[in-house]
């Protein structure tokens, strides 16, 4: 390249770089703006969902309008009070949330003293979800708090078996999320796929499955594609997230999501993959890009 052409090329590169926002820019410096971009039709090989908690500064009503433009058909981890808003916009909640009264990630099925209250919660929520046309409700193992994994698994199975007849009657899947205990949720018990799969086998119902969070499992065990290929019959739902930091799932992080999603599709999976990253750039632009990356 001669000197003149080199100078011309450098000017073009510099001009393009000036248009790229700083990677660490806070969300407050990039206010929510309605997306007016032309949306390329999706391929239809997967169903797209998104977790609302990552976009707290946008009202649910406005968020529904925006994600629908992107081809997203579900906004999830929402409870019964929010389902009517989703229905108004022609959206579903691919993974519903019903836990209350202090139950959640750190306190759930691995303690037998929790089973009676958890039974009441799910016995009430499962029919409500079915009536709303929903198919899955999230659950958790709880923290170890000194309990060994074998005891915790037996306790979880005991409690889950009690609600399986209700789930089976209403065609609802109860899905336990796999989370990392290394960075985000110290001491969480259901932190490896093999443990979750063993629990599925112990419960022995097609209405109990796993929510495989790609971000969390990359941190805990890696080998994401091989794990999905091996254990996909026990997985009913997927979450995304950039590693490290749970930011955008683009080239700034260590996972290559097109290959991961292609592997998921190749297993015959026909459910939802939900974006669950915390955007550092413009929230809706990042979300749209996440959908594009996963639309294989």
Q: Where residue 36 falls among pLDDT bands split at 50, 70, 90?
A: low
Window from 13-17, 81-85, 147-151, 254-258 with minimum mean pLDDT = 13-17
pLDDT at 218 over 70: yes
Which pLDDT tens digit goes with each residue over 43-71?
999 999 999 999 999 999 999 999 999 99
Q: What is the 3-state secondary structure (H, E, C) of the chain?
A: CCHHHHHHHHHHHHHHHCCCCCCCCCHHHCCCCCCCCCCCCCCCCCEEEEEHHHHCCCCHHHHHHHHHHCCCCEEECCCCCCHHHHHHCCCECCCECCCCCCCCCCCCCCCHHHHHHHHHHHHHHHHHHHHCCCCEEEECCCECCCCCHHHHHHHHHHHHHHHHHHHHHCCCEEEEEECCCCCCCCCECCCCHHHHHHHHHHHCCCCEEEEEEHHHHHHHCCCHHHHHHHHHHHEEEEECCCCCCCCCCCCCCCCCHHHHHHHHHHCCCCCEEEECCCCCCCHHHHHHHHHHHHCC
pLDDT at 217 over 80: yes
270-286 mean pLDDT: 97
Report d(CA 145, CA 105) in Å as an integer: 13
Report d(CA 255, CA 271) in Å as an integer: 21
Provide the pLDDT for residue 15.
Answer: 37
Which pLDDT tens digit goes with each residue over 75-93?
999 999 999 999 999 999 9
Which pLDDT tens digit goes with each residue over 129-151?
999 999 999 999 999 999 999 99
pLDDT at 168 over 60: yes
Which burial class, exposed, middle or buried, applies to 130 when counting CB atoms under 10 A from its CB (0-12, 13-18, 19+)? middle
Window from 5-9, 218-222, 244-248 with minimum mean pLDDT = 5-9
Which pLDDT tens digit goes with each residue over 186-211?
999 999 999 999 999 999 999 999 99
Provide the pLDDT for residue 8.
Answer: 43
Contacts of 180 (CB under 8 A, 6+ apart): 188, 191, 215, 216, 217, 219, 220
Report d(CA 85, CA 95) in Å as an integer: 15
The pTM of this model reads 0.87
Provide the pLDDT for residue 16.
Answer: 34
CA atoms within 13 A on the CB side of 173: 18
Residue 288, both tokens? 């749209």
Provide the pLDDT for residue 39.
Answer: 66
Provide the pLDDT for residue 41.
Answer: 87
**Would you tell me how many other CB atoms lie within 10 Å of the CB of residue 82?**
17
């Amino acid at each position: 390249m001669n000197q003149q052409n080199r100078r011309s090329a450098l000017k073009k590169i510099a001009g393009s770089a000036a248009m790229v926002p700083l990677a660490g820019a806070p969300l407050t410096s990039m206010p929510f703006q309605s997306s007016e971009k032309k949306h390329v039709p999706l391929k239809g090989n997967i169903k797209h969902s998104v977790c609302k908690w990552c976009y707290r500064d946008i009202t649910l009503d406005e968020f529904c309008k925006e994600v629908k433009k992107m081809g997203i058909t579900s906004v999830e981890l929402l409870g019964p009070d929010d389902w009517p808003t989703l229905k108004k916009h022609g959206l579903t909640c691919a993974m519903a949330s019903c836990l209350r009264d202090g139950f959640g990630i750190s306190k759930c099925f691995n303690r037998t003293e929790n089973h009676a209250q958890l039974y009441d919660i799910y016995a009430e929520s499962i029919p409500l979800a079915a009536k709303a046309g929903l198919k899955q409700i999230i659950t958790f193992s709880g923290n170890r708090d000194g309990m060994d994994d074998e005891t915790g698994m037996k306790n979880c199975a005991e409690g889950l078996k009690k609600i399986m007849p209700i789930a089976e009657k209403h065609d609802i899947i109860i899905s336990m999320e796999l989370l990392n205990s290394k960075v985000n949720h110290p001491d969480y018990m259901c932190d490896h796929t093999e443990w979750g799969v063993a629990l599925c086998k112990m419960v022995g119902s097609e209405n109990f499955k796993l929510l495989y969070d790609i971000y969390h499992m990359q941190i805990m065990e890696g080998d994401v594609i091989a794990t999905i290929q091996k254990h996909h019959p026990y997985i009913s739902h997927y979450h995304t997230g950039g590693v490290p930091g749970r930011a955008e799932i683009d080239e700034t992080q260590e996972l290559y999501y097109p290959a991961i999603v292609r592997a998921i599709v190749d297993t015959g999976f026909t459910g939802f993959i939900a974006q669950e990253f915390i955007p550092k750039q413009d929230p809706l632009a990042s979300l749209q890009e996440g959908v594009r990356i996963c639309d294989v």
